[in-house]
Chain A
Amino acid sequence: MTRTSQPIHDEPGLARIIETIEAIGTLPTIPPVAQHVMRLARDEHSSMREIAEVISQDQALAAKVLKVVNSAFYALQERVGTLPLALTILGVHEITALVLGVSIMSALPGSSDNELFNREALWHTSAQRAFAAKKLSHRVGLGRLASEAFLAALVQDIGLIVLDEYCHDAFVEVMQAAKDEGLAPLEAERKYLGTTHASIGAWLAEKWLFPEPLVEAIAFHHRPAQSSWTTPLAGLVYLAGLIVNLYEQEMTAEEAASTIEADTTWARLMSSGPAVRPPASVLALLEELGEEIAAAPLIIG
C-alpha cells in the first residue's frame, strides 16, 4: 500500500508512548454516532436518515449542528431553529465531517489541570482552523475536499489530547521545557518524547479506522512536504493552521499575504493539479479567511 511517502510510525519514541497508553487500558472507543457515520462513508449499510435520527436524539450534537448553521459561515438571512432545515443546509458531506469531528474530539473528555496546555483554547483554535480549511478549499478550486479538510483540521491535534490525558506528567514536563528553553512545542515533543502529537494522533486515527487521507493529514499537518500528496489534504490543513497562526499574531494582512506567498506548501498546492485555481489576490483571500476565523463558532467542548 503506497499511502504515504514517509512512514508515520518512524519515530523512536512513538512505540514507548503507545505502550504507556495501552498499559492504562482505557483508551476510548470511537463513539457510536461516529461509527455510524464512518460506515456511511465506507458505503456500508447505513442511512443518512438514521444519522439524522441519531443527531436528533443527541441534544448536545443537535445544538452544535444548529450553532454551525447559524454561524457567519453560512450567512443566512434568518436564524434556523429546526434540525431538518439545519441538516439540509449542511448537506451530507458537511454533516458527516461535523459529526465525526465533534464526536471524536469529545470522546476524550476530562478537563486538564495543566496550566501550560489549555484545552478550551485548543477547541477554539481547532474550530477556527476547521472553518479556515473549508473556506480555503473552496477558494482555491478544491471545494470537493472542503468537508474532508474541515474534519482533518478539526481533529489534527487529537494527539495533544491523548498526551494530556494518558501521558500527563511527561506532557507537562515537555510543555515546561518548551517554555524554559524557548522551544516550539513540536520541537520539545520531538526532543523529549522522541515523537510528536501528530504521529500519536495518526496512530489513534488508524486504530479507529479513519479513512486513509485523514490519517495522513493528521500525521503530516506540520510537515506536509513529506505527505504523499495523493490528495493535497495535508497541505490544506497545514495552510489553514498557518493562516490561523498569522491571524492570532495580529499580523497585518499585507505581512500575512507575503508569508503565505513565500510558503513552499502554498506554492506546491497552487501547482498540485488542474482543478486548483490560484486566487486573484492572496490578500483578499486572507481578509476573507480572517472574517471566517473571527466568526468561527466553538463546536467542541
Chain B
Amino acid sequence: MSEPNAQLPKRIMLVEAPGEERSAWEKALQAAGWAVTCSGSGHEAAAQLEQTAPEVVAAEIELYPAGGLDLLRLVKTRWPRTEVICTARTHKTSHVLECLRGGAADYLRRPFEPNDLVRAADEALLATPDDEAIDIEMGEMGWIELYMPSSERSMKRLDKFFRLLYEPEVSPETLEEISLCFFEVVRNAIEWGHRLDAHKRILVSHMLFQDEIVFKVADTGAGFDTGAAIEPPEDLMAMEAKRAIEGKRPGGLGITMVRGLMDSVIYNKTGNMIVMSKKIYDAD
C-alpha cells in the first residue's frame, strides 16, 4: 500500500501536455494538499519517476509518442505500489480493458472536473496492488471473464470499469440496477463464500449478447443459503437484531432485491455460483 505520510505531502505526477486543463488540475490538487509534478510525455515521465517517486500518476492514454498505457505497464512493472489513473480524451472500450488489465486504479473520461481527479487521486491512495490483481481470462467488449480478489475495494474498482464499458450500450437506470445486483452478489461471495479472506478469488463473467446482459459470480466457498432470503421475513426488527449479533451487515434482503431487479436469477445447488440476466432495451 502507498502509505500516506502525515509529515510529507502526498505526491502526484500529471502526465499531460501543458495547457489550461493541466493547470486547473494542478491547482485543485495543490489545494487538496498534493505536491504536483508535471510531465509532457510518457518518456519524460519515465525519466522523472525515479527521482520524484510519486504515490500516484495521472496519465493521458493517447499522449504521443508514449502515452498512459505504456506508462501504466512501466509503472506497474517497476513501481507496483505506485497507483495510476488513466485519463482519456477518446473513449475506446479496448483502452478501458487495457487499463483494467494493466492494474490502473481509475479511468477518467474527459472532460471531467478538476475535483474528480482530486477524488480519484485520494481514493487511489487507499488502493493496494492486491486490489488490482485481476486475472482476465477473456477480455473483449461484450464478453469478459476474470478472477478478482475477494475484497470490497476490488469490487468497487471493477464496478467502475464495467460501467465505463457498458455506458455506451446500456441506459443509466439499467446500469445502476445491474451495479446494485453486482454489489450484492459479490458481497455475498466475499462475506459468505470466502469469509472475508481477501486472498481468495471470485470468478466474474459478463456477457452482452444481442439485447441482454448476463453476468455470473462464482466463489469457492461452501455456498450461500439461497432459499432463506426469497421471502421477506415478517419481523424485520428481529431479523436485524439477529444479524447484528451474528456480525452481518444490515439487510439480508439482497437476494430478494436481485430477483426483483433482474429478469432471471439462477443459482447452482451448492449456492456458490449465481448467473443472472436482464434485457437492456425496452421491448418496443
The interface residues of chain A lying within 8 Å CB-to-CB of B137 are: 91-93
Task: Choose, from A78-86, A162-170, A203-211, A215-223, the stretch at the interface.
Answer: A78-86
Asked whether A77 lies within 8 Å of B140 as measured between CB atoms, the reply is no
CB distance from A217 to the nearest CB of B (A): 22
Asked whether B214 lies within 8 Å of A84 as measured between CB atoms, the reply is yes
Task: Choose, from B102-110, B126-134, B243-251, B266-274, the stretch at the interface.
Answer: B266-274
The interface residues of chain A lying within 8 Å CB-to-CB of B205 are: 88, 91
Asked whether A92 lies within 8 Å of B212 as measured between CB atoms, the reply is no
Majority secondary structure, B binding face: strand
| Residues 37-65 of chain A, each 1 if its beta carbon lies under 8 Å from chain B, else 0 | 00000000001110010000000000000
A75 to B273, CA, bound (A): 10
A235 to B59, CA, bound (A): 49
Asked whether A78 lies within 8 Å of B138 as measured between CB atoms, the reply is no
Number of interface residues of B (CB under 8 A): 27
The interface residues of chain A lying within 8 Å CB-to-CB of B275 are: 80, 85, 88-89
The interface residues of chain B lying within 8 Å CB-to-CB of A77 are: 226, 266-269
The interface residues of chain B lying within 8 Å CB-to-CB of A85 are: 214, 264, 266, 275, 277
Asked whether B267 lies within 8 Å of A76 as measured between CB atoms, the reply is yes
Closest residue of chain A to B209, judged by CB?
A84
Q: Told that A47-B140, A74-B268 touch, could you supply 7 new A-B pairs with CB distance under 8 A?
A: A49-B140, A52-B209, A75-B268, A76-B268, A84-B209, A84-B277, A89-B273
CB<8 Å pairs between A and B, sample of 28: A47-B140, A48-B138, A48-B142, A49-B141, A49-B142, A49-B143, A49-B208, A52-B207, A74-B268, A76-B268, A77-B226, A78-B266, A82-B212, A82-B264, A83-B209, A84-B210, A84-B214, A85-B214, A85-B266, A85-B275, A85-B277, A87-B207, A87-B214, A88-B214, A88-B277, A91-B145, A92-B138, A92-B145
Chain A interface residues toward B at CB < 8 A: 47-49, 52, 74-78, 80, 82-85, 87-89, 91-93
